[in-house]
Chain A
Amino acid sequence: MEIKGLRIIITGAASGFGKEMALQLSKQGANVAAIDCNEKALIELHNSNKNITIWNCNVADNLTVEKTIEDISLSMGTIDVLINNAGIMKNAPLINILSKTDKKHPIELWENIIAVNQNAVFYMSRSVVDKMITKRIKGLVLNVSSISAQGNSGQTAYSASKAAVEAMTVVWAKELGRWGIRSVAIAPGFINTAGTHKALEEKTLEQWIEKTPLRRTGTIEEIVKTVQFIIENDFINGVVINVNGGLTL
């Protein structure tokens, strides 16, 4: 698909990967609908590029998702690409022996991460793909996974949610290919974003950099370039593309 003129929805678009994707894809002529639950950051995004439409939506809430997709469809006419980028990363061991009270992984943390990283991808995709099939759009669902999908200690919920995202990616490639709809995931390694620095202690991040063959973190630009490549290459389907400098967990 040629990026110019495409109608693209990006979740988690007000910061990090999502924001850069929105700005770059819009710059290349795509009509971008930016979804996020941070209204202030959305307004800032819109102020930096008036062509990007902004939609305040909690993607972990299905009713809100249904309404937002309906509204975006009415506004844009149709949807060619959905980028499921929204996600949160919070860490906890399965059993925290340092805790003096309940040592077990907090249930609310598990539910929160699964809701945002896994359920939201399901809610968004079912709503958008329904529109694609109804209008016979040969579109693309692009999911943002993580190297942690392979299982990273301290990240039970995060790893599980991203593994689920990768599984859904493959299922949808098999199910939707007959309609000409592709489903692809990217799995970034450690990328130099505010989110990475917030989620990891600096010494932990340094250890990961040492384990990375390229001895550095990736950049947001390298993620965005991968997204562009996937959009433009119509034969990529049902795979998870690792962007991790050669790091394997």
Chain B
Amino acid sequence: MEKINTILVKTFKITNDEATMNLSMNNVARWDSITHMDLIVTIENDFHITLSGDDIAEMITFDAIRHIVKTYIS
């Protein structure tokens, strides 16, 4: 999941430490509906996956992101 942490750091301009926590849309300043699109596009490109609309809408915490991406790559 190191790869996801790197994406989180780059997308939300947060520290490496913050990327390892379970932050959410509510407490990451740069995380809004527009940066969420950046997040999804980057994850899809980097992991070569296509996320479903429902999963995209569920990915609003770092833990949810990690969990959902895992289901696509395992």
Question: Does B53 contact A178, Cβ atoms closer than 8 Å?
Answer: no
Instruction: Count contacts between A and B, CB distance < 8 Å.
Output: 10
Q: How does the 8 Å CB contact mask read for B37-52 relative to A, with 1 for contact and 0 for none?
A: 1100100100000100
Residue of B34, B41, B44, B50 with most chain A CB atoms under a 10 A cut-off:
B41
Contact, CB under 8 Å: A179 / B41: yes
How many angstroms from the CA of A178 to the CA of B11 in the assembled complex?
A: 13
For the complex, what is the distance from the CA of A178 to the CA of B41, rounded to whole Å?
Answer: 7
C-alpha gap A175/B32 in the complex (Å): 12
What chain A residues lie within 8 Å of B44 (beta carbons)? 136
Residues 146-182 of A at the B interface (beta carbon under 8 Å): 175, 178-179
- Across-interface contacts of A179 in B (CB, < 8 A): 37, 41
A204 to chain B, nearest CB (A): 44
Q: In the complex, what residue of chain B is closest to A178 when comparing beta carbons?
A: B41
Residue from B37, B38, B53 with most neighbouring chain A CB atoms (10 Å)? B37
Residue of A at shortest CB range from B39?
Answer: A178
Contacts of A175 in B (CB 8 A): 34, 37
Interface centre among A175, A178, A179 (most CB of B within 10 A): A178
- Shortest CB–CB separation between residue A138 and chain B, in angstroms? 11
Residues of B contacting A48 with CB < 8 Å? none
- In the complex, the answer to whether B53 meets A134 with C-beta atoms within 8 Å is yes
CB contacts (< 8 Å) of B38 on chain A: these are: 178
In the bound complex, what is the Cα–Cα distance between A136 and B56 (angstroms)? Answer: 13
Q: Mark A207-244, 1 if CB is under 8 A from B, else 0.
A: 00000000000000000000000000000000000000
Q: How far is B45's CA from A179's CA once the two chains are assembled, in angstroms? A: 11
Whose C-beta in chain B lies nearest to the C-beta of A175?
B34
* Chain B hits for A178, CB < 8 A: 37-38, 41
Q: What is the CB-to-nearest-CB distance from B7 to chain A, in angstroms, rounded to a whole number?
A: 14
A39 to B41, CA, bound (A): 41
* Chain B residues positioned under 8 Å from A136 (CB to CB): 44, 50
Please give, as numbers and ranges, the residues of chain A lying within 8 Å of B34 by CB-CB distance: 175
